[in-house]
Amino acid sequence: MDRPKLEVADIFRRYGEAYRQQHDGSLSTAQRRVMTAIEVCRTAALGGHLERCDCCNYERPCYDSCGNRHCPKCQSLARAEWVEKRTAEVLSTHYFHVVFSIPEQIASIAYQNKAAVYGILFRATAETLTTIAADPKHLGAEIGFFAVLHSWGQNLLFHPHLHCVVPGGGISLDGTRWISCRPRFFLPVRVLSRLFRRLFLTYLEEALDSGKLRFFSSLETLRDRQAFNRHLDPVRNSEWVVYAKPPFAGPQQVVDYVGRYTHRVAISNHRIVDIEGGEVKFTWRDYRDNNQQKTMTLSADQFIGRFLLHVLPSGFHRIRYYGFLANPHRKEKLEQCRQLLGVAARSDTSSVPVTPEDYRDRYERLTGHSLRECPVCHRGRMIEVNALPQVRSSPTIRDTS
């Protein structure tokens, strides 16, 4: 894919300082860190090195990246490394993609209490899937899955939801056999939806009672329990959205597909069309209108505000693993799954070299695209010839959580 002509970084560099001044009192430390990281990413502010082609002598500066998980430019290598690890864990069975969403009334609470409500979203989703799957009336098995948090829609508005990728079966409760679900049916979504609703509301009320929720501005009245209950009344009996997408065509499609989800940020640079005149134009898909691609125009202030809606709490893990994919026993459980499925155990031999690997070599090995090929002659390779120090000191902005 060609390098985009415009980037989120261009928007922040051009309009970010005005946004900071206008919203000084409401910007969180995490949001300020993200803005700074994206602004200085791959610029002289972070330093780097000078490269020269060993064939045509073309030279270029190669600046360091910020490494922030919200930066559109810093996800390719992280995504490739994650996919490499997951590829070794894919089982020879069909897979399902299940999405759990929360209503707007809950989303407003979530924005002011991200860590608490996101945690409840993961907890209620995981308990819903494992409980219904373990019920002999449905599957009667221990399942394994991972869940990825997204908080945005295509229009960048706040829409927290979880994408869960689940093998189509699990280990029998006595551990002696693999139980497969029907080829095109995982679990009844209405049953999932109602248990998810009940668990989520229970945990949300517990969070309020234990003082874990904070309210301000337009939601300040929700500190009162009666007002809180009235706010939730419309969603207690409504149908919450739990959506099971059609199953994947095969194990490789699972890896290719989820690789696009796991390290996605709110908007990619390729979707940005124009940033002139204090406005930002970007493409989006309107799922309510036959999935048509449209162009949306926002003021730069609105765009930056919407982007910052999706900054995660510091240290929050947006990819989590459950059941037989949970970290403590993943290796042993996956070996058990393969035995029950009648598949030979995978070799422990890793494709990762024993000696330390340069990130450019690692990127080429994982993606098939070279960062060393000369962009001018396409014959030579770019060789590092000199270090480039930081032009100015920059704050500590790396976010590897």
pTM for this model (two decimals): 0.89
Whole-number Å distance between alpha carbons of 58 and 81: 30
Whole-number Å distance between alpha carbons of 358 and 328: 30
pLDDT digits (tens, 9 = 90+) for 155-195: 999 999 999 999 999 999 999 999 998 878 889 999 999 99
Share of the chain above pLDDT 90, in %: 72
Amino acid at 18: A
Q: Where are the strands (E) in 218-339, listed by range?
A: 242-245, 272-274, 279-286, 292-299, 319-323
- Residue 203 C-beta-side C-alpha neighbours within 13 Å: 19
Examine residue 252 and state whether it is found in any structural domain, yes or no: yes
Examine residue 108 and state whether it is found in any structural domain, yes or no: yes
Examine residue 277 and state whether it is found in any structural domain, yes or no: no
323 forms bridges with which residues in the sheet? 144
User: How many independent structural domains does the chain possess?
Assistant: 1
Instruction: Give me the residue label for tokens 């026993």.
Output: 329
Instruction: Give me the residue label for tokens 């810093």.
Output: 74
Q: Which of helix, strand or coil describes residue 215? A: coil
Examine residue 358 and state whether it is found in any structural domain, yes or no: no
Least confident of 56-70, 249-263, 281-295: 249-263
Examine residue 7 and state whether it is found in any structural domain, yes or no: no
As a whole number, mean pLDDT of residues 330-354 equals 76
Q: Which of 88, 85, 84 is nearest to 343 (CA)?
A: 88
Q: Which of 264, 97, 92, 116 is nearest to 180 (CA)?
A: 92
Whole-number Å distance between alpha carbons of 9 and 265: 13
Whole-number Å distance between alpha carbons of 182 and 293: 34
As a whole number, mean pLDDT of residues 282-308 equals 94
Segment holding 172, helix H or strand E: strand 169-172
Task: Say what the pLDDT of residue 175 is.
Answer: 94
Q: Where are the strands (E) in 182-271, listed by range?
A: 242-245
Examine residue 371 and state whether it is found in any structural domain, yes or no: no
Reported confidence tier of residue 396, pLDDT bands at 50, 70, 90 = very low
Here the tokens at position 90 are 């894919």
- Domain around 329: 90-266+309-341
Examine residue 233 and state whether it is found in any structural domain, yes or no: yes
- Burial of residue 41 (CB within 10 Å: 0-12, 13-18, 19+) is buried
Specify whether the CB–CB gap between 286 and 278 falls below 8 A: no
Whole-number Å distance between alpha carbons of 25 and 15: 17
Task: Say what the pLDDT of residue 383 is.
Answer: 92
Whole-number Å distance between alpha carbons of 106 and 207: 13
- Burial of residue 278 (CB within 10 Å: 0-12, 13-18, 19+) is exposed
Q: What is the DSSP letter of 263?
A: T
CA quadruple 319, 325, 329, 331: dihedral sign = negative
As a whole number, mean pLDDT of residues 219-225 equals 95
Whole-number Å distance between alpha carbons of 184 and 134: 19
Whole-number Å distance between alpha carbons of 374 and 244: 45
pLDDT digits (tens, 9 = 90+) for 225-262: 999 999 999 999 999 999 988 777 777 777 777 777 77
> Cα-flanking dihedrals φ and ψ of residue 371, to 5°?
-95, -5
Examine residue 75 and state whether it is found in any structural domain, yes or no: no
Q: What is the CATH number of the domain that holds 192?
A: 3.40.1310
What's the Rg (C-alpha) of the chain?
Answer: 23
pLDDT tops 80 at residue 67: yes
Segment holding 388, helix H or strand E: strand 382-388
